[in-house]
Structure 1
Amino acid sequence: MENDNQLPAFIYTYACREDELSLCQLETRSFFGKQAQANILKSTIQIEPDRSPFIKERIEVLYHGDSLPHILEQVSHIQMFEATFKVIFVKINDLEPADKIEYDERRAIEREIGMHIEGEADIHKPDHVFGIIALGGRWYFGNYMRNKAVWLHHMKKPRNYSIALSTRVARAAANIAVPDPLGVKAIDPCCGIGTVLVEALSMGIDIVGRDINPFIARGARENIAHFGFEGNVTLGDISDITASYDVAIIDMPYNLFSTTTPEEQFSILQHARRIASKVIVITIESIDEMIANAGLTIADRGVAKKGLFSRQILVCT
Structure 2
Amino acid sequence: MQYLYSFACQKGEYELSRLEMRTFFNFDVEGNVLISEKKIEPSRSPYMRKRLDIWVQGTTIEQLVDAAQQIQLGERSFKIHALNNSEDAILPKLSRTVRNEMMKKIGYAIHAEPDLENPDVVLGLVLYEGIYYLGELVQGEAVWLHHMQKPEMYSTALSTRDARAIVNIAAPFPQGLKVIDPCCGIGTVLVEAMSMGISIEGRDINKRVVWGSRINLRHFGFEPKVEIGPIEEASEGYDVAIIDMPYNLFTHISEDLQQSIITNARRIAKRVVIVTIESMDDKIANANLTIMDQAIVKKGTFERHVLICE
Q: TM-score, normalised by structure 1?
A: 0.93
Instruction: Give, in whole Å, the separation in 1 of the partners of 2:189 and 2:104.
Output: 43
User: Over the residues paired in the alignment, what is the CA RMSD in angstroms?
Assistant: 1.5
Instruction: Give, in whole Å, the separation in 2 of the partners of 1:34 and 1:135.
Output: 19
Correspondent of 1:32 among 22, 25, 36: 25
Counterpart check, 1:89 vs 2:82: yes
One-letter code aligned to 1:31: F
Partner of 1:136: 129
Partner of 1:67: 60
Correspondent of 1:179 among 163, 172, 180: 172
Counterpart check, 1:160 vs 2:153: yes
Partner of 2:42: 49
Runs of at least 5 residues in structure 2 that lack an aligned partner in the other structure:
none
Counterpart check, 1:148 vs 2:141: yes
Contact map agreement 1:93 1:134 (CA 8 A) in 2 = no
One-letter code aligned to 2:39: Q
Partner of 1:4: none
Which whole-Å deviations, capped at 9, do the CAs of 1:279-304 have from their partners, x for residues lacking one? 00000112212211222110000111
Which whole-Å deviations, capped at 9, do the CAs of 1:118-147 have from their partners, x for residues lacking one? 222222221110111223321111110111
Deviation at 1:273, TM superposition (A): 0.4
Instruction: Give, in whole Å, the separation in 1 of the partners of 2:219 and 2:89.
Output: 39
The 1:187/1:211 distance shift into structure 2, 3 A limit, reads same
Contact map agreement 1:93 1:133 (CA 8 A) in 2 = no
Partner of 2:260: 267
Tell me the matched-pair count.
307
Contact map agreement 1:188 1:250 (CA 8 A) in 2 = yes
SS in 1 for 2:117: coil
Q: Mapping of 1:223-242 within 5 angstroms? A: 223-242=216-235
Partner of 2:199: 206
Instruction: Give, in whole Å, the separation in 2 of the partners of 1:120 and 1:181.
Output: 39
Instruction: Give, in whole Å, the separation in 1 of the partners of 2:125 and 2:154.
Output: 43
Identity of aligned residues (%): 47
Correspondent of 1:104 among 97, 100, 112: 97
Instruction: Give, in whole Å, the separation in 1 of the partners of 2:2 and 2:11.
Output: 28
Instruction: Give, in whole Å, the separation in 1 of the partners of 2:212 and 2:12.
Output: 30
Instruction: Give, in whole Å, the separation in 1 of the partners of 2:103 and 2:155.
Output: 46
Instruction: Give, in whole Å, the separation in 1 of the partners of 2:304 and 2:75.
Output: 51
Which whole-Å deviations, capped at 9, do the CAs of 1:221-249 have from their partners, x for residues lacking one? 11111111234111111001123100000
Deviation at 1:53, TM superposition (A): 0.2
Runs of at least 5 residues in structure 1 that lack an aligned partner in the other structure:
1-7
Contact map agreement 1:93 1:135 (CA 8 A) in 2 = no
Instruction: Give, in whole Å, the separation in 2 of the partners of 1:119 and 1:239.
Output: 62
Deviation at 1:311, TM superposition (A): 0.5
SS in 1 for 2:264: helix
Deviation at 1:94, TM superposition (A): 6.3
One-letter code aligned to 1:135: Y
One-letter code aligned to 1:311: R
Partner of 2:182: 189
Partner of 1:3: none
Counterpart check, 1:288 vs 2:281: yes
Instruction: Give, in whole Å, the separation in 2 of the partners of 1:256 and 1:13.
Output: 40
Partner of 1:123: 116
The 1:22/1:256 distance shift into structure 2, 3 A limit, reads farther
One-letter code aligned to 1:267: S
Correspondent of 2:251 among 246, 258, 261: 258
Instruction: Give, in whole Å, the separation in 2 of the partners of 1:64 and 1:231.
Output: 47
Contact map agreement 2:156 2:248 (CA 8 A) in 1 = no
One-letter code aligned to 1:26: L
